[in-house]
């Protein structure tokens, strides 16, 4: 006994040691319990050891079990109704720590209360031993028998003053359990209690960890930059809290619920429009009645899942549903973008129902804390009908609603939904509900699976706690988001305004730049215009100044406003003396005949008055000294914008031109006369001769023939001289210059005239000078012959005509004979520039002379004729004109000196070639 | 007035000679001649011809002066004057018309008609 006893003790110690070790080895309660039942069964050597755990409702479940060789059926994981271990029995277990040993065969139960400190006194009052046996309840016996149990040992497992469970040993055959076994099992139970404490602590820690993990994950979703963080956070919560769906409603009208909602500026008002009512949906959503028919009961967030489910259905209905789904998806997508506009059909805006707010405010029974309502079973709660129906249509059974408020600002609602669920319970044997003797133990403990449909899954306190924690996160995030959105909106508005103002400024700047550029351009153009104006006016001035014509301008009253120097010069006034004077007084404008115009009748007045341009030739203007001169003028009006503001008159003195013209007229008259004179004789003579019926004496006939003949010769000479003069004048005679000797030329000319001189008994005396000349010899011979011819013609008979020549030094004119006139000296001095010497040729006669005033005129055409007193001298009157032309063509000069009654001398000069010297 | 006498005043000897012959043969005129104005005035006053054939371009005293002087002299003022001129331009003719001359004959004249021209001019002037 001692040995056995010590053996037992050793075994017991080993058992406890092992147990303690295994408990320590694991923190997982199931493992510990497994080990416990295993060790205890071995120790007690019973057919079954199990640990039965009580649920809060009093029912229980076998959570660990050890069975020896299937001597008894397994009851693991089976549930036992609360009635199986009645409340009074449970109370005894708890209050007294009662242990019981039942022997079915002896129908005896031994009870031993565990004396706890609290109940010691109470227990002492009762008459009790350590292990007292009494008759067991037949019902209990029946129950155990049905289980196939003959002996049982039950020790309660107490944890924190609560009956956690029972440690139970069953044996299929009667077996005695003594105090000793009881004590040991009690010890084991105590160990299990410790383990439970540990495991609970672990579980608590784990839950705490999970709780925190969920919060962390949610928070990280909320603050992440991923697309739609609220949706992700909502999805996460829903899965974490085992929900079927949920929704987050955030309001746009939050500002209106601020404590001090006074908008500070217009931008803040604008931000209200930015933050709109918004719904984030997940899972199945409540459906309201009036559109329930039009909508399937599945929300878009579950579309994918629904489609999977559809696989099981008939093709026809599937197609139908797909269409419905597609249209619904479109609807929902649409309404998520613009929920305000489509609020009557799209989203079930239950939060907008008036009943919603009212319901929550009044539902205090389900209000866990302020702003949080947990309705575990909608069927059991008082919910306003539209909302209740909406839940029912979506099969929503449990609702967890949080009102989101942050810093006194209402933000919205976060609602979580759970659908009804089917609960499966594995019962230890089936109770016949219809059996009136409900209290009778069941006949079989065969496992019976009970499935209960449409059960509400209640919100657990820890889930509610989690929700509480999450609400704050959501609220602050939404608040921040809205704040952020407002700030963003403000920023955007600000940026927009800034960019708008910047654009305006840039536009203004551009305009300014452009204006500056244009102004600069305009300035440059103006400067250019001024320059060109200056240049032009300078040019105009130059033109006016250099114009040979007189130009003056007058205003409408006829006062001179400008005049050019030529005008002043022609009119004999000092420069610019004309300006400001009345032009008609100044010019004394007169008609060609000399009659003065009335101002109002003058062509210039007409120009000012009627703008007509007048081109007048021959009118007379008056100089300052009172002399008149003929003018040609053009008067033109000056107009500005169609208005005549004055006139400009351009005029020139045509005295010389008129003289030239009258000379020309005279020349024509003279030529006509000179030609007609011989023709008159010829025509008369020949006309008479031609008449056969007229008898003319023979002598007269001869005279007529002679007259005709000599006048014909005269006419021929005349014509050829006229042609010569005209050709020389027009420069059409080209000199055929060659080197020749003057003596030869003089001799030839004298030879030509000798016959004429002999005819008139004139002595022709030639004093030749041998000088090399570069001249046209024929022309010089013609010149000398002409001079000789004139001299002979106008000399009386028996007088002498002399021709001589001499070289004269230009610088030594005074050394010449005193008879040389002033004009001759000047002619010599201004002679050829080729050489210092010049050749002077002279022809002298002893005729009656030429009057001093005619000395120059004789060189003009036909001049001799008027000088003739004694009929014509056989000259044409063109000879001297021809001579002057020829001499001047040779850069020489010709002039005449004469003394009346003594004679005339004709001089002409010729240049001497520099390399030629006299021989 | 048994014989018609006409005075030719012209500085060109050939014209005087040819005209003399012409007037003698075709007009049976007795012809007097002067080669310049002074000579012409003297002959006119002394001989008192029936008519004077006066050249305008005369050396020394020109035809216009001679005409004026003839008109100034009461003895010669009535003698019809026929101007014989080589200046036969329109504007000159106008001047001659104002001089109340019997006729203006342009050189070179037609020798066959000159007598008739003079006769006709004289008869007209007689009527006047």
pLDDT band at A394 (very low <50, low <70, confident <90, very high): confident
pLDDT-wise least confident of A420-434, A449-463, A612-626: A420-434
Q: What is the pLDDT of residue A173?
A: 83
On the question of pLDDT at A789 being above 60, the answer is yes
Q: Are residues A646 and A669 in the same domain?
A: no
- In A703-732, the residues whose Cβ lies within 8 Å of chain B are 703-704, 707, 710-711
Q: What is the per-residue pLDDT across A499-535, written as a single tens digit (0 to 9) for each?
A: 888 888 888 888 889 889 998 888 988 888 888 778 8
Residue A29's CATH number = 3.30.450.40
CB contact under 8 A, A681 and B87: no
Sheet of A550-554, strands arranged across: A560-563, A550-554, A643-653, A628-640, A614-622
Which chain A residues touch B88 with a CB distance below 8 Å?
Answer: 672, 676
From A863, which residue of chain B is nearest by alpha-carbon distance?
A: B59
Same domain, A142 and A252: no
Listed range (A153-167, A406-420, A819-833) with the worst mean pLDDT = A819-833
The pLDDT score that the predictor gives to residue B32 is 94
Cα–Cα distance for residue pair A806/A166, rounded to 1 Å? 183
| Contact call for B109 and A672, based on CB within 8 A | no
Do A694 and A770 share a domain, yes or no? no
pLDDT attached to residue A344: 37
Whether pLDDT at B20 is above 90? yes
Domain that holds residue A697: 659-724
Instruction: Place B81 in a pLDDT band, splitting at 50, 70 and 90.
Output: very high
Task: Enumerate the domain spans of chain B.
Answer: 5-127
The tens digit of pLDDT for each residue in A726-780 reads: 787 777 778 888 898 999 999 999 998 898 899 889 999 999 899 888 899 988 9
List the single best residue of A684, A697, A699, A863 to mutate versus B (max B Cβ within 10 A): A684
A156 and A73 co-located in one domain? yes
Residues A201 and A321 in one domain: no
Least confident range of A55-59, A818-822, A834-838: A818-822
Checking if the pLDDT of A873 tops 80, the result is no
* Residue A708 banded pLDDT, cuts 50, 70, 90: very high
What pLDDT shows up at residue A823? 65
Q: What is the pLDDT of residue A348?
A: 63
Residues in contact with A289: Cβ distance below 8 Å, sequence separation at least 6, in sequence order = A386, A389, A390, A393
* Number of domains making up chain A: 5
pLDDT score, position A763: 93
CA distance A704 to chain B (A): 7
- Note whether A683 contacts B108, CB cutoff 8 Å: yes
Question: A680 CB near a chain B CB, below 8 Å?
Answer: yes
Q: Do B21 and A711 touch (CB under 8 A)?
A: no
What is the DSSP secondary-structure string of A355-390?
HHHHHHHH--SSEEETTEEEES-GGGS---HHHHHH
- Evaluate whether residue A515 is within a structural domain: no
A669, A670, A676: which to substitute to probe chain B, counting the most B Cβ within 10 Å?
A676
For tokens 């987050």, name the residue.
Answer: A248
**Average per-residue pLDDT for chain A:** 78
Rounded Cα–Cα distance for residues A282 and A237 (Å): 10
Q: How many angstroms separate the first and last alpha carbons of chain B?
A: 19
CATH topology of domain B5-127: Rossmann fold (3.40.50)
How sure is the predictor about B88, in pLDDT bands with cuts at 50, 70 and 90? Answer: low
What would you report as the CA-atom Rg of chain B, rounded to the nearest whole angstrom?
13
For residues A334 and A359, state if they share a domain: yes
> Which of A653, A676, A711 is a domain's end point?
A653
pLDDT at B92: 67
Q: Which of A439, A464, A489 is the last residue of a domain?
A: A464
Picking from B11, B36, B107, the nearest residue to A676 by CB comes out as B107
Are A48 and A71 in contact by the 8 Å Cβ rule? The answer is yes
Whether A241 and A286 map to the same domain: the answer is yes
**A876 is a domain residue:** yes
- pLDDT-based confidence at A473, cuts 50/70/90? confident
**Inter-chain CB proximity A679 and B87 less than 8 Å:** no
Q: A221-242 pLDDT, tens per residue?
A: 888 877 888 888 888 888 888 8
Q: How far is A672 from chain B (nearest CA, A)?
A: 7
Q: What share of chain B is helix, strand, coil (3-state, %, to 5)?
A: 45, 20, 35
Cβ within 8 Å of residue A540, ≥6 positions away: none
Q: Based on the domain organization, do A317 and A192 belong to the same domain?
A: no
What does the DSSP 8-state code read for residue A201?
H
* A259-263, A439-443, A576-580: segment of lowest average pLDDT: A259-263
Which of A310-319, A338-347, A775-784 has maximum average pLDDT?
A775-784
pLDDT of residue A437 exceeding 60, the answer is: no
Q: Is residue A337 pLDDT above 60, yes or no?
A: no
The answer, yes or no, to whether residue B93 has pLDDT greater than 80, is no
Place of tokens 């005033």: A853
Residues A183, A282: one domain? no
Asked if residue A383 has pLDDT above 70, the reply is yes
- Please state the rounded mean pLDDT for residues A485-496: 80
d(CA B58, CA B42): 15
CA–CA separation, A555 and A607 (whole Å): 11
Mean pLDDT of A559-567: 88
Asked if A676 reaches chain B (Cβ–Cβ under 8 Å), the answer is yes
Give domain status of residue A530, yes or no.
Answer: no
Which two three-digit tokens encode residue A450? 């009970």
Instruction: Inspect the interface and report whether the beta carbons of A676 and B86 lie closer than 8 Å.
Output: yes
Residue A896 located in a structural domain: yes
Per-residue model confidence (pLDDT) at position A340: 39
Do residues A193 and A44 share a domain?
A: yes
Determine the pLDDT at residue A428.
72
For residues A178 and A313, membership in a common domain is answered with: no
Residues B69 and A504: their CA atoms lie apart, in Å, by 109
Instruction: Residue A829: give its domain's CATH number.
Output: 3.30.565.10
Q: Residue A283's beta-bridge partner residues? A: A245
Q: What average pLDDT does this structure show over B73-82?
A: 90
Match 């008869």 to its residue by tokens: B123
Cα dist from A890 to A449, A609, A727, A830, A837, whole Å? 161, 57, 16, 14, 15
Q: Could you give the count of Cα atoms lying within 13 Å of A858 in the half-sphere of its Cβ?
A: 25
Task: Indicate if the pLDDT at residue A68 is higher than 80.
Answer: yes
Within-domain flag for A664: yes
CA A602, CA A635: separation in Å to the nearest integer?
11
User: Measured between CA atoms, how close is A551 to chain B, in angstroms?
Assistant: 35
Instruction: Report pLDDT for A220.
Output: 86
- Predicted interface score ipTM higher than 0.95: no
Indicate whether this model's pTM tops 0.80.
no
Render A429-492 in DSSP notation, one character per residue.
S---TT-S-TTSPPS---EEEEEEEEE--PPPHHHHHHHHHHHHHHHHHHHHHHHHHHHHHHHH
Nearest to A75 by CA among A48, A100, A99, A55: A48
* A692 in contact with chain B, both atoms CB, cutoff 8 A: no
**Residue A765 shares a structural domain with residue A678:** no
pLDDT band at A901 (very low <50, low <70, confident <90, very high): confident
Chain A nearest CA to B62, separation (Å)? 10
């Amino acid at each position: 006994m001692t040995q056995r006893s010590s053996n037992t003790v050793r075994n017991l110690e080993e058992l406890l040691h092992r147990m303690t070790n295994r408990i320590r080895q694991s923190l997982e309660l199931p493992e510990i319990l497994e080990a416990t039942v295993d060790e205890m069964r071995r120790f007690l050597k019973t057919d079954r050891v199990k640990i039965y755990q009580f649920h809060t409702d009093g029912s229980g479940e076998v959570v660990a079990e050890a069975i020896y060789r299937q001597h008894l059926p397994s009851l693991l994981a089976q549930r036992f109704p609360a009635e199986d271990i009645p409340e009074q029995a449970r109370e005894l277990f708890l209050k007294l720590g009662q242990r019981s040993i039942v022997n079915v065969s002896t129908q005896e139960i031994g009870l031993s209360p565990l004396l706890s400190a609290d109940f010691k006194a109470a227990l002492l009052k009762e008459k009790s031993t350590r292990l007292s046996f009494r008759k067991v309840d037949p019902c209990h016996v029946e129950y155990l028998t049905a289980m196939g149990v003959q002996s049982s040992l039950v020790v309660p497992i107490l944890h924190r003053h609560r009956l956690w469970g029972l440690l139970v040993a069953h044996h299929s055959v009667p077996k005695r359990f003594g105090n000793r076994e009881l004590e040991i099992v009690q010890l084991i139970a105590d160990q299990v209690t410790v383990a439970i404490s540990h495991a609970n602590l672990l579980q608590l820690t784990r839950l705490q960890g999970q709780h925190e993990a969920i919060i962390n994950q949610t928070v990280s979703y909320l603050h992440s930059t991923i697309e739609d963080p609220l949706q992700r956070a909502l999805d996460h919560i829903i899965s974490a809290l085992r929900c079927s769906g949920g929704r987050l409603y955030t309001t746009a009208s939050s500002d209106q619920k601020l404590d001090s909602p006074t908008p500070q500026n217009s931008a803040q008002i604008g931000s209200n429009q930015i933050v709109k009512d918004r719904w984030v949906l997940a899972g199945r959503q409540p459906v309201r009645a009036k559109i329930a028919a039009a909508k399937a009961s599945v929300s878009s967030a579950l579309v994918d899942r629904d489609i999977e489910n559809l696989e099981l259905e008939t093709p026809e209905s599937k197609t139908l549903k797909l269409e419905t789904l597609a249209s619904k998806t479109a609807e929902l997508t649409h309404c998520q973008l613009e929920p305000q506009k489509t609020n009557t059909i799209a989203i079930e805006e239950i939060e907008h129902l008036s009943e919603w707010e009212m319901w929550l405010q009044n539902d205090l029974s389900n209000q866990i804390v302020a702003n949080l309502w947990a309705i575990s079973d909608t069927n059991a709660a008082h919910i306003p009908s539209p909302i209740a129906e909406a839940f029912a249509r979506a099969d929503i059974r449990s609702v967890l609603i949080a009102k989101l408020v942050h810093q006194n600002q209402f933000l919205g609602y976060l609602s979580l939904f759970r659908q009804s669920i089917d609960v499966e319970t594995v019962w230890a044997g089936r109770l016949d509900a219809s059996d009136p003797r409900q209290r009778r133990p069941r006949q079989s403990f065969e496992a019976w699976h009970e499935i209960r449909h449409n059960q509400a899954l209640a919100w657990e306190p820890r889930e509610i706690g989690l929700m509480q924690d999450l609400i704050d996160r959501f609220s602050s995030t939404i608040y921040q988001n809205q704040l952020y959105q407002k700030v963003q909106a403000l920023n955007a508005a600000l940026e927009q305004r800034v960019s708008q103002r910047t654009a305006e400024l840039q536009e203004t700047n551009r305009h300014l730049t452009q204006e500056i550029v244009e102004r600069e351009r305009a300035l440059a153009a103006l400067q250019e215009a001024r320059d060109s104006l200056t240049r032009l006016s300078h040019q105009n001035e130059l033109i006016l100044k250099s114009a040979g014509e007189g130009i003056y301008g007058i205003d409408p009253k006829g006062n001179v406003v400008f005049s050019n120097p030529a005008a002043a010069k022609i009119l004999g006034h000092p420069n610019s003396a004309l300006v400001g004077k009345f032009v008609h007084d100044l010019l004394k404008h007169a008609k060609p005949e000399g009659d003065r115009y009335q101002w109002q009748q003058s062509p210039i007045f007409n120009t000012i008055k009627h703008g007509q341009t007048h081109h007048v030739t021959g009118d007379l203007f008056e100089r300052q000294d009172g002399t008149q001169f003929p003018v040609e003028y053009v008067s033109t009006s000056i107009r500005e914008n169609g208005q005549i503001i004055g006139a400009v008159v351009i005029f020139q003195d045509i005295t010389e031109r008129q003289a030239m013209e009258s000379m020309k007229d005279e020349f024509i008259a003279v030529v006509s006369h000179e030609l007609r004179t011989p023709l008159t004789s010829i025509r008369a003579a020949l006309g008479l001769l031609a008449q056969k019926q007229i008898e003319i004496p023979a002598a007269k006939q001869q005279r007529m023939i002679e007259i005709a003949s000599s006048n014909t010769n005269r006419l021929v000479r005349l014509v050829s001289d006229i042609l010569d003069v005209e050709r020389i004048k027009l420069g059409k005679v080209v000199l055929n210059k060659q080197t020749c000797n003057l003596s030869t030329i003089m001799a030839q000319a004298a030879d030509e005239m000798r016959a004429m001189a002999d005819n008139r008994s004139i002595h022709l005396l030639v004093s030749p000078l041998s000088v090399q000349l570069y001249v046209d010899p024929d022309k010089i011979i013609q010149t000398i012959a002409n001079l000789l011819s004139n001299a002979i013609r106008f000399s009386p008979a028996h007088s002498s005509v002399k021709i001589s020549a001499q070289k004269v030094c230009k610088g030594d004119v005074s050394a010449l004979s005193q008879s040389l006139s002033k004009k001759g000296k000047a002619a010599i001095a201004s002679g050829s520039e080729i050489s210092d010497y010049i050749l002077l040729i002279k022809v002298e006669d002893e005729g009656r002379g030429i009057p001093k005033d005619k000395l120059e005129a004789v060189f003009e055409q036909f001049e001799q004729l008027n000088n003739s007193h004694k009929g014509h001298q056989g000259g044409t009157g063109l000879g001297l004109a021809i001579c002057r032309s020829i001499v001047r063509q040779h850069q020489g000069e010709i002039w005449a000196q004469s003394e009346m009654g003594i004679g005339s001398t004709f001089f002409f000069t010729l240049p001497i070639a520099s390399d030629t010297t006299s021989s | 007035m048994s014989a018609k006498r006409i005075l030719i005043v012209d500085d060109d000897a050939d014209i005087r000679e040819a005209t003399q012959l012409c007037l003698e043969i075709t007009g049976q005129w007795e012809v007097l001649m002067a080669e310049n104005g002074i000579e012409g005035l003297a002959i006119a006053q002394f001989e008192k011809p029936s008519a004077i054939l006066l050249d305008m371009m005369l050396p020394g005293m020109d035809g216009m002066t001679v005409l004026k002087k003839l008109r100034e002299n009461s003895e010669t003022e009535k003698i019809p004057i026929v101007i014989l001129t080589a200046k036969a331009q329109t504007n000159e003719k106008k001047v001659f018309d104002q001089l109340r001359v019997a006729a203006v004959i342009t050189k070179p004249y037609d020798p066959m008609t000159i007598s008739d021209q003079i006769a006709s001019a004289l008869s007209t002037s007689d009527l006047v």
